[in-house]
Structure 1
Amino acid sequence: MGQKLLVNSASGNLLKELTDSLETCDRFYFGVAFVNFSGVQLLLDTLKEAEKRGIQGKIMTSTYLNFTDPKALERLKAFDHIDLRVFVTDQQTGFHTKAYIFEYEESYKIIIGSSNVTQSALKSNVEWNVEIISKKDGQFVEEVLAEYEQLWQRSTQATAQFLHEYEELYRNIERMQRTANLVYEKAEYIVQNSMQRRAIENLTRLRDLNEKKALVVAATGTGKTYMAAFDVQQVRPVKLLFLVHREDILQKAKETFETLLPNIQRSFGVLTGTRKDWGADYLFANIRTLANHYEHFSPDEFDYIIVDEAHHATAPQYEKVLAWFQPKFMLGMTATPERSDQLSVFELFDHNVALEVRLHEALEDDIVAPFHYFGITDIAEIDLQQVRLEDTAELAKKLQVHKRVDFIMEQMNFYGNDGQFRKGLGFCVNREHAAFMAEEFTKRGIPSLYLSGDDNGETRAEAIQALEDEKSPIEFLFTVDIFNEGVDIPSVNQVLMLRPTQSPIVFIQQLGRGLRKHSGKQFLTVLDFIGNHAKSYLIAVALNGQRYYDKESLKVAVATGFAHVPGATHIQMDEISQKQILEQIDQESFYSMAYLKEQYMEFKKVRHGKPPYKLMDYYTYDGAPDPVKFIQKEGSYLSFLAKVETDDNIRLLLHDQVWAKVYKELSKFLPLKRPHEASLYLALMHQKELSWEEASYHIRHWVEETAAESVRHAIKNIANTFLDQREKDRFPALAEWEGEKVIRTSILEELLQNKEYTSYLTDLLEYGLHRYEREFGKTDYGIPFFKLHEQYQMRDAALLSNASVTHSSFRGSGLLRNDKDLFLFVDLHKEADTEERLLYKDEILSPERVQWESPNNMAQHSGRGQSIIRHKELGNKLHLFVRKYKHIEGNVTEPFIYLGELEVESWQNEKPVMFHMKLHHRIPPQLYRELTEKV
């Protein structure tokens, strides 16, 4: 009746097929070589619903290679509607079957392939599974069922006795493997992960450019110390200084380097309050000690200096030490690159970011543990509709309900956690709430402690140690914000979100506390108890993790279970929570001043009430609001600040009309579409003129290679050559091209006399460049400088194709041209009150084919018509840009998404001409859904 290939991709996976089938079948039969808890947990809700519907099922697995997890068997055994059996293998007989059979009234759906019941096999591994739907009386069905029944009869019932004996065997094997693994902790067996490999490639590139400093930004637990050791292994400096803020890190770092560099023939030593190995080649030093003894060393003593926790390096103690030394190369490493009042860590390292890894990149690179997130509707008795979320006392009072504790524990027991020992963190509203939860959990047999900002470092360290220790009875720590960042508890395998989410930043920080990889866990379980407060949708913003989002893309992400999130991570919201969040997204106005001000105030709260005066303040936090939205709302970031802060200094800054005009016009560059112009402006902040070679060098700092034509275009662009007179009047030129040199204009010279002006202009350019680098790296995208599936406005096509006409002429038409490049701009859904809605039939037909109707005055034989019809013959390139809607909220104009080049396959009709075209690149599944589905 039907057949198809099932693979794991962004457009679907085996898990989705299994859950859909379990929701509709009459009976089910699984036969898989092994199951583990990571896979079973993903099926729990669907199996529970099947149990409610009275759907009976059989699940058969095996002891083959002892891969099956006893916890998975125990959990399946707990369902009354599942008959569970285990095929016991021996040396002669293995068990490789992977089959999923679903019975319907008149047919069977049979899936046979390569996937077992594990999180990776169901979601992310390269797996091939074939699905066949056949009538009940078919020969194939009869053969499959007969084979299944024969194996079923040979299998052993999963009795309590059997499960007990198998668990004992499994744990013994686990212990033996742990012991055996200690033997292989040798340098030759430790290989670079993808993050470390990319960082080292970029560090090598920066050194080739004669750069002396670089910074790596990555979360705790992603292997920054190993990365530094791998780079030292490659560079082989004669003398090395590794500088740390805390002594406990110092010893671990030294051990890592000694493990990875066993044959480097260098001596290793430490410099602390109690021990001073002055003569060591590779010295690991505590900053407090070194600050008192740095003059003991000559300034060029060390070839290579590594600054761990580099965000501290802007402090005075570090400043004098780093000012003394003149190494050949200095590497900074940090998880939280917050700026001080004086200097940003990016400035300190000459804006050379070798690598930056945020949560979604870390998941994609498999350098943190995947997580299984379950959004669970809170109990009906918890009514938060009238509670201000800032009123923590009232909020805590509402949440401190015994029935809620029972519900939380019921959900914990249902979903379980990975690993033999439960190690959990619960994030609470305030100290009273945390104390209440710890007391209630302890009463109910889960020994717990609570911590808040009032507790000193020693108390915190003892509590963390108690949680980490497998022999300790402590299973949970309930905390108030203090574990948002910088705390490393690798064994945590369950996180409870027990308070309403107000800040995506805090949500990501709290989530991150459980993502450190650990030998005792494959994944983190996250249970989020979602109340009926008005800001539930912020959970979706936090989990989405995409650079750009609007109402439509956010709704598609929620409705598809955030299918774009990489790897084996699983995000699931129950039906009530999902409906509530989708309704809130619909009702919220993401461009209203009220919403933007609220985002700003929440961000300020994360910064302990300190106003984010600079754009770079936003750059340092994963999940921070996008300040470009603030700029778009008010014209510049300072204009926005003037609306939300009562700081008279900001208003005074804006009184200078020339300065305000320059700052506002440069703000329009954000987010940067290419780094060329901003890199030249930034260079002119520090030197009065640039030669052609210097201009090229500064651009190459941000782009690997760039054509001379693009350098020339960028220089002319900052000299306002391509602006029409109206635009020139609005934006005075800051540079001019004179005799093969780029020179500051008198306007820029005058502005730079003011330190505050200089600081804010530098910040704007730094933010644009660092954000660009984080999102696109240093790839040269050629000419036109377009990136597949990124967002653009019409006028960007002029800049990025090195057009010699004014930007303002690139607007107002669906077909634009620059020499051999033709740009097609398409609105997929026309405005309801325009004639376009009736006239044009533009449509995405499939992930690789589109239908486009030309402007209605274009004929096939006309110059424009022939330039498209004969585009290959004439050497013309067709570029397609689409957007779902011109407007989603009010009169805010949505950007277009670049779908790449395409070629004409057929055409028909006159005025307009209808074209069928094929894209050079398939539209990715998530984007295809966003563009074609309405939620």
Structure 2
Amino acid sequence: MIEQIRFFGHSGSRVKGLVFCSSKVEAKELSDAFNTKGTYRTIALTGEDSQEKREDAIARLAGSGDYEVLRRDEQLDYIFTVDIFNEGVDIPEVNQVIMLRQTESPIVFIQQLGRGLRKFEDKEYVVILDFIGNYSNSYMIPLALSGDRSYNKDTLRKYVQSGNRIIPGKSTHHFLIKIKEKDYQVNFDVTQEQMLHYISQKLATGMRVRDLLALQFLLNGSEAILFDVEQELKSKYNNVLSELGKVNLVNILMNEFAVSGDAIKFKDCLFIKMNGSDYAISDEFKKALINEDFKNHIQQLIDLGVDRYKDMYMGVKLDNNPFALYEKYNYEQVCQLLEWPKNQIAQNIGGYKFDEATKTYPVFINYHKGDDVQDSIKYEDQFESQTLIKAISKNNRYLRSKDVNTAINADSLGVSMHLFVRKNKDDKESKEFYYLGTIHSTGKENARLIGYQQILM
């Protein structure tokens, strides 16, 4: 602890730190050990100590009150405690917070972190040293620094997915892991980082297991990925890999599914190559896997994705339906799960889109339109009841328009329509919709014409 305290330092003329311990015994023993070393002066405070003793210790740490001018033997460098400073105590002078207490509660974590986040004239920044690994709950740090105290489930979900990439302001973080007293450092090249990012973001969500099976077979040295995935899906998951599904899978593993910026961003993410009538591992992926650390990271992502699939999706999907009822999906995930050969950007979907090859027709509805939405596209979609929704077509459409006619006659045409709804477009990060199931036309042919829009029931 003393070695890392010296290494990371503090902001200000001297250190003024709080140390959160896991027990009263730990707090007292560590404080005694620090004092024995003679480098720092510390005290242990618990709920058993009087309010007078607490206030005196705080004044000695902060250098306030009767201790504005401190002699060396009067000052305190650290206060060791369990939880009495979690909340309700304001010590803006604190320039270092040390965490020795394991917690899975974001509220407790934020309370402890917050003891050092107050501004003070002799403090440009605060140093947080987490020796116990609370940072492994990666959403806690950005949640704490965001100032968001709503603890909304969707907000928490965003932080879980994005982790430390969305820390605001000028905060920095360093993760130093020690094994057998040696620094454990992992370095990846640009291609390896791209591949890890691609798999984490697009495949390890667990929404579909076939992509993860393909990666596992690649790691195992398979020379016929499509054949192996098809057999595994059938025998272990009672699932069928269609010809369209094969095209979709190949395009995803060769970065030919992506469009626009993603195609460039992940240009080196080529995981497979042609091998006769099937596919095997690409030269790029094979070269990257020479790095054992990289290979281990890939294996962990595969295991994580498979576990997510089993926990969240495996038992809840209906027959021949790739979606789980009431789960959230973004545009790209919908295109991927419907086995489209290429992704579609939101502008090309425009609320709904029919794919002829797969005979699938997703409908995306923003239920509340903002004031900034143009009247020409401010469609008044609404639920008439729990089982009936009124959905309005795009501009310049008639009954004979192909997309309108397909929607009205979807059942007879063998077209599968899926409904995705979100409250509004305020979710700028994930752009996700709740899946509400398959939908069917009421069969009414006297759809009313409003301007150039059709009401589709």
Fold equivalence (TM over 0.5)? yes
In structure 2, do the counterparts of structure 1 residues 842 and 774 end up closer, same or farther at CA, with 3 Å as the change threshold?
same
Residue of structure 2 equivalent to 1:869: 408
Residue 506 of structure 1 deviates from its aligned partner by: 11
In structure 2, do the counterparts of structure 1 residues 610 and 893 end up closer, same or farther at CA, with 3 Å as the change threshold?
closer
Residue 898 of structure 1 deviates from its aligned partner by: 1.1
Residue of structure 1 equivalent to 2:253: 718
Q: Which deviations, in whole Å up to 9, do the C-alpha atoms of 1:237-282 show, x marking residues without a partner? A: xxxxxxxxxxxxxxxxxxxxxxxxxxxxxxxxxxxxxxxxxxxxxx
Residue 873 of structure 1 deviates from its aligned partner by: 3.2
Q: Which deviations, in whole Å up to 9, do the C-alpha atoms of 1:193-246 show, x marking residues without a partner? A: xxxxxxxxxxxxxxxxxxxxxxxxxxxxxxxxxxxxxxxxxxxxxxxxxxxxxx
Residue 887 of structure 1 deviates from its aligned partner by: 1.4
Is the contact between residue 788 and residue 900 of structure 1 (CA under 8 Å) also seen in structure 2?
yes
User: Which protein has the bigger strand share?
Assistant: 1
Distance in 2 (CA, whole Å) between partners of 1:614 and 1:736 is: 35
Residue of structure 2 equivalent to 1:708: 242
Is the contact between residue 849 and residue 916 of structure 1 (CA under 8 Å) also seen in structure 2?
no
Residue of structure 2 equivalent to 1:660: 193
1:396 aligns with 2:396: no
Residue of structure 1 equivalent to 2:104: 503
Residue type of the alignment partner of 2:133: G
Distance in 2 (CA, whole Å) between partners of 1:534 and 1:626 is: 14
In structure 2, do the counterparts of structure 1 residues 611 and 632 end up closer, same or farther at CA, with 3 Å as the change threshold?
closer
Task: Give runs of aligned pairs for residues 96-175 of structure 1, distance below 5 A.
Answer: none
Residue of structure 2 equivalent to 1:694: 228
Distance in 1 (CA, whole Å) between partners of 2:206 and 2:347 is: 18
Q: Which deviations, in whole Å up to 9, do the C-alpha atoms of 1:840-882 show, x marking residues without a partner? A: 2122233222122211232223122211223233333321110
Residue of structure 1 equivalent to 2:133: 609
Residue of structure 1 equivalent to 2:448: 908
Distance in 1 (CA, whole Å) between partners of 2:234 and 2:156 is: 27
Residue of structure 1 equivalent to 2:173: 644
- Corresponding residue SS for 1:661: helix
Q: Which deviations, in whole Å up to 9, do the C-alpha atoms of 1:677-736 show, x marking residues without a partner? A: 122112212225235432223445763322333355324431334345864443221112
- Corresponding residue SS for 2:325: coil
Residue of structure 2 equivalent to 1:678: 212
Residue type of the alignment partner of 1:503: E
- Corresponding residue SS for 2:372: coil
- Corresponding residue SS for 1:868: helix
Is the contact between residue 448 and residue 454 of structure 2 (CA under 8 Å) also seen in structure 1?
yes
In structure 2, do the counterparts of structure 1 residues 689 and 814 end up closer, same or farther at CA, with 3 Å as the change threshold?
same
CA RMSD of aligned residues (A): 4.6
- Corresponding residue SS for 1:818: coil
The runs of 5 or more residues in structure 2 that have no matched partner are: 1-17, 23-43, 52-80, 86-100, 113-127, 140-152, 178-182
In structure 2, do the counterparts of structure 1 residues 702 and 663 end up closer, same or farther at CA, with 3 Å as the change threshold?
farther
1:846 aligns with 2:385: yes
In structure 2, do the counterparts of structure 1 residues 801 and 700 end up closer, same or farther at CA, with 3 Å as the change threshold?
same
Is the contact between residue 214 and residue 225 of structure 2 (CA under 8 Å) also seen in structure 1?
no
Is the contact between residue 705 and residue 780 of structure 1 (CA under 8 Å) also seen in structure 2?
no
- Corresponding residue SS for 1:653: coil
Distance in 1 (CA, whole Å) between partners of 2:184 and 2:381 is: 47
Task: Give runs of aligned pairs for residues 396-795 of structure 1, distance below 5 A.
Answer: 396=47, 430=82, 503-504=104-105, 608-609=132-133, 612=136, 629-632=159-162, 643-647=172-176, 653-654=187-188, 656-669=189-202, 670-690=204-224, 692-700=226-234, 703-709=237-243, 710-711=245-246, 713-724=248-259, 727-731=262-266, 732=268, 733-777=270-314, 781=318, 783=320, 785-795=322-332
Distance in 2 (CA, whole Å) between partners of 1:809 and 1:832 is: 20
Task: Give runs of aligned pairs for residues 811-830 of structure 1, distance below 5 A.
Answer: 812-819=349-356, 820-830=359-369
1:895 to 428, 432, 439: 432
Residue type of the alignment partner of 2:303: E
Distance in 2 (CA, whole Å) between partners of 1:687 and 1:844 is: 52
In structure 2, do the counterparts of structure 1 residues 838 and 614 end up closer, same or farther at CA, with 3 Å as the change threshold?
closer
Residue 676 of structure 1 deviates from its aligned partner by: 0.9
Residue type of the alignment partner of 1:742: Y
Residue 793 of structure 1 deviates from its aligned partner by: 0.9
- Corresponding residue SS for 1:878: strand
Distance in 2 (CA, whole Å) between partners of 1:848 and 1:737 is: 47
Distance in 2 (CA, whole Å) between partners of 1:836 and 1:893 is: 25
Q: Which deviations, in whole Å up to 9, do the C-alpha atoms of 1:627-662 show, x marking residues without a partner? A: 87355366699xxxx9532449898625x1111111
The runs of 5 or more residues in structure 1 that have no matched partner are: 1-387, 401-428, 434-480, 485-501, 508-532, 537-600, 616-622, 918-935
Residue 431 of structure 1 deviates from its aligned partner by: 9.9
Residue 432 of structure 1 deviates from its aligned partner by: 10
Distance in 2 (CA, whole Å) between partners of 1:627 and 1:902 is: 28
- Corresponding residue SS for 1:797: helix
Is the contact between residue 734 and residue 744 of structure 1 (CA under 8 Å) also seen in structure 2?
yes
Q: Which deviations, in whole Å up to 9, do the C-alpha atoms of 1:59-95 show, x marking residues without a partner? A: xxxxxxxxxxxxxxxxxxxxxxxxxxxxxxxxxxxxx
- Corresponding residue SS for 1:815: coil
Is the contact between residue 636 and residue 664 of structure 1 (CA under 8 Å) also seen in structure 2?
no
Residue 828 of structure 1 deviates from its aligned partner by: 0.8
In structure 2, do the counterparts of structure 1 residues 893 and 714 end up closer, same or farther at CA, with 3 Å as the change threshold?
closer
Q: Which deviations, in whole Å up to 9, do the C-alpha atoms of 1:390-436 show, x marking residues without a partner? A: 58976836999xxxxxxxxxxxxxxxxxxxxxxxxxxxx95999xxx
Is the contact between residue 399 and residue 405 of structure 2 (CA under 8 Å) also seen in structure 1?
yes
Is the contact between residue 858 and residue 910 of structure 1 (CA under 8 Å) also seen in structure 2?
no
Is the contact between residue 396 and residue 432 of structure 1 (CA under 8 Å) also seen in structure 2?
yes
Residue 503 of structure 1 deviates from its aligned partner by: 3.3
In structure 2, do the counterparts of structure 1 residues 651 and 783 end up closer, same or farther at CA, with 3 Å as the change threshold?
farther
Residue type of the alignment partner of 1:866: N
In structure 2, do the counterparts of structure 1 residues 687 and 908 end up closer, same or farther at CA, with 3 Å as the change threshold?
same
Is the contact between residue 316 and residue 325 of structure 2 (CA under 8 Å) also seen in structure 1?
no
Is the contact between residue 860 and residue 910 of structure 1 (CA under 8 Å) also seen in structure 2?
no
Residue 834 of structure 1 deviates from its aligned partner by: 2.4
Residue 674 of structure 1 deviates from its aligned partner by: 0.9
- Corresponding residue SS for 1:396: coil
Residue 750 of structure 1 deviates from its aligned partner by: 0.9
Residue 884 of structure 1 deviates from its aligned partner by: 0.9
In structure 2, do the counterparts of structure 1 residues 505 and 803 end up closer, same or farther at CA, with 3 Å as the change threshold?
same
Is the contact between residue 206 and residue 313 of structure 2 (CA under 8 Å) also seen in structure 1?
no
Is the contact between residue 855 and residue 911 of structure 1 (CA under 8 Å) also seen in structure 2?
no
Q: Percent of aligned pairs with the same residue?
A: 16
Is the contact between residue 885 and residue 894 of structure 1 (CA under 8 Å) also seen in structure 2?
no
Residue 759 of structure 1 deviates from its aligned partner by: 1.2
1:880 to 419, 427, 450: 419
Residue type of the alignment partner of 2:174: E
Q: Which deviations, in whole Å up to 9, do the C-alpha atoms of 1:810-850 show, x marking residues without a partner? A: 85510112122211100011223222598321222332221
Residue 788 of structure 1 deviates from its aligned partner by: 1.7
User: Matched residue pairs, number?
Assistant: 333
- Corresponding residue SS for 1:900: strand
Residue type of the alignment partner of 1:815: Y
Is the contact between residue 398 and residue 454 of structure 2 (CA under 8 Å) also seen in structure 1?
no
Is the contact between residue 859 and residue 911 of structure 1 (CA under 8 Å) also seen in structure 2?
no
Distance in 1 (CA, whole Å) between partners of 2:213 and 2:296 is: 16
Residue type of the alignment partner of 1:609: G
Normalised to the residue count of structure 1, the TM-score between the two structures is 0.31
Instruction: Determine which structure has more spread, i.e. the larger CA radius of gyration.
Output: 1
- Corresponding residue SS for 1:772: helix
In structure 2, do the counterparts of structure 1 residues 729 and 874 end up closer, same or farther at CA, with 3 Å as the change threshold?
same
